[in-house]
Structure 1
Amino acid sequence: MARKPFWETKSLHQMTVPEWESLCDGCGLCCLVRFEDEDTGEIIPTRVHCQLFDEHRCSCKDYPNRRKTVPDCIKLTPHNIETLEWMPPSCAYRRLHEGKTLPDWHPLVTGDPDSTHKAGISVRDQTVSELSFEDAEDAMDFVATDLMVDKGDLPYDPED
């Protein structure tokens, strides 16, 4: 009998640090600049990335020390996931918190570290650095509401 994967047998609070970290699919969506509408509370994502985000690798350039450069970078934990409504709907952390499964394209499911990119979920090579702007408000020129669409249930075909 096959053993179930850890994400199906443990709650988020029971996971080890390496298990927790492995849930990240490398999409880069959480590293994008977002605005919140003061009147409605709506989260408005942009295609503008954090200064530490490597748009080609689709990962943080200095993950262990990121808060030294970007003090408002939020460390995602099992204890704060429920308060982070801005996380993309396809995010594994959010999906598991909401009682959903990992998407078929997730690297832990496929065994392929590039499956998120192959499935078209990531923002690899689709963003511009926040350092490109003199005024942070200029990022509003790159609003991308399509990034908040839940792509978690898209089928994955490695041949596509």
Structure 2
Amino acid sequence: MTSLPADPVPFWRAKTLEDMSTREWESLCDGCGRCCLVKLEDEDSGEIHFTDIGCKLLDGESCRCTDYSHRRRRVRDCVKLTPEAVRSLSWLPVTCAYRVVAEGRDLAWWHPLVSGSDQTVHDAGVSVRGRVSASEEDVPVELWPDRIVKWPNRPVRRRK
């Protein structure tokens, strides 16, 4: 009797963030867009609050950056995720695959690398699709605190 070879271990379980290729690293992004929401920091407590306002480069339908390769030139506070940054940024959403892998957890069922579909992040209600009410260019800064929402940093419901 011959046995079938075991499935290879997925790269996100087999490698550290530092050991991933550029292609592997980029594929960890699930395309939810949560990190591209405007965030506010409480000056007294340091607590981070998400808003329903998107970065000026966020496409609210695709949940992707409209100018990814030049984003850091066009948005002065855009943060480039690196393994070091992922481990130190308190504002990365609890669902963020970079954060999940850095914390030693496995990717969720809806992550495109697990499901095989870019659609499941939207189907599971993880993405910002339909939840971004405006672009940062359309809302005066003084009104941003009125747009604070809780959902971007909450865990996602379990698979039905």
TM-score, normalized by the shorter chain, greater than 0.5:
yes
Q: How does 1:121-160 map to 2 (within 5 A)?
A: 121-127=126-132, 128-133=134-139, 135-151=140-156, 154-157=157-160
Give 1:25's match in structure 2, choosing from 6, 9, 30.
30
In the alignment, residue 127 of structure 2 is paired with which amino acid?
A: S
Measure the CA separation in 2 of the matches of 1:144 and 1:101.
26
What is the identity percentage for the equivalent residue pairs of Structure 1 and Structure 2? 45
In the alignment, residue 138 of structure 2 is paired with which amino acid?
A: S
* Deviation (angstroms), 1:156: 2.9
* Deviation (angstroms), 1:82: 1.3
Q: Do the aligned partners of 1:32 and 1:46 also contact (CA within 8 Å) in 2?
A: yes
Please tell me whether residue 92 in structure 1 is matched to residue 97 in structure 2: yes
Q: How does 1:29-108 map to 2 (within 5 A)?
A: 29-108=34-113
Q: Do the aligned partners of 1:34 and 1:46 also contact (CA within 8 Å) in 2?
A: yes
Give 1:110's match in structure 2, choosing from 112, 115, 129.
115
Measure the CA separation in 2 of the matches of 1:99 and 1:137.
39
* Deviation (angstroms), 1:137: 2.6
TM-score, length of structure 2 as denominator length: 0.92
Q: Do the aligned partners of 1:35 and 1:44 also contact (CA within 8 Å) in 2?
A: yes
TM-score, length of structure 1 as denominator length: 0.92
Return structure 1 stretches of 4+ with deviation > 6 angstroms. Answer: none
Q: Do the aligned partners of 1:105 and 1:155 also contact (CA within 8 Å) in 2?
A: no
How many residues align structurally? 154
In the alignment, residue 67 of structure 1 is paired with which amino acid?
A: R
Greater gyration radius: 2
Structure 1 residue runs without a partner (length 5+): none
Structure 2 residue runs without a partner (length 5+): 1-5
Aligned-residue RMSD, C-alpha: 1.1
Measure the CA separation in 1 of the matches of 2:98 and 2:142.
29
